[in-house]
Amino acid sequence: MGTTAHGPSAFRLIRVVAMTEPSFVRTTRTFYDAVAVDYAERYKDQLDTVPLDRALLAAFAELAGGAGPVADLGCGPGRITGHLRSLGVDVFGVDLSAEMVALARRTLPQIRFEQGSMADLDVPDGSLAGVVAWYSIIHTPAERLPAVFAEFHRVLVPDGPLLVAFQVGEEPLHIAEPFGHQVALDFNRLSPDHVTGLLRQAGFQMIARTQREPEEGENVPQAFLLARKTKD
Ligand X SMILES: C[S@@+](CC[C@H](N)C(=O)[O-])C[C@H]1O[C@@H](n2cnc3c(N)ncnc32)[C@H](O)[C@@H]1O
Q: What residues from 102 to 121 belong to the interface with ligand X (CB under 6 A)? A: 117-119
Asked whether position 188 contacts ligand X by CB under 6 A, the answer is: no
Name the minimum Å distance from CB 35 to ligand X: 9
By CB under 6 A, name the one of 64, 100, 162, 226 that touches ligand X: 100
- Beta strand 91-95 pairing with 173-176: unpaired
Q: Does 222 bind ligand X (CB under 6 A)?
A: no
Q: How far is the CB of 52 from ligand X (least distance, A)?
A: 15
Q: Within its chain, how far is the Cα of 143 from the centroid?
A: 17
Q: Which is nearer to ligand X, 94 or 199 (CB)?
A: 94
Q: Identify any residues that bridge with 202 across adjacent strands, giving them in sequence order.
A: none
Nearer to ligand X, 139 or 189 (CB): 139
In degrees, to the nearest 5, what angle opens at C-alpha 22 toward C-alphas 76 and 28?
25
CB neighbour list of residue 17: distance below 8 Å, 6 or more residues apart: none
- 59 touches 82 (CB < 8 A): no
DSSP letter (8 states) at residue 100: H
Q: Which stretch binds ligand X (CB under 6 A): 15-23, 69-77, 192-200, 205-213?
A: 69-77
What stretches of 4-129 adopt beta strand conformation (E)?
A: 70-73, 91-95, 113-115
**Which CB atom, from 143 or from 232, has the smaller least distance to ligand X?**
143
Q: Phi and psi dihedrals of 17, rounded to 5?
A: -60, -45
Q: How many Å apart are CA 33 and CA 86, to the nearest integer? A: 26
Alpha helices in 132-222 (DSSP H): 145-155, 192-201
- Return the range that interacts with ligand X (CB under 6 A); candidates 11-19, 94-102, 155-163, 219-227: 94-102
Least Å distance, CB 124 to ligand X, is 18
Q: Which of 108, 129, 136, 151 binds ligand X (CB under 6 A)?
A: 136
**CB of 112: closest distance to ligand X in angstroms?**
15
- 32 binding ligand X? (CB under 6 A): yes
Applying CB under 6 A, the residues found at the interface with ligand X are 28, 32, 43, 73-76, 79-80, 94-97, 100, 117-119, 134-136, 139-140
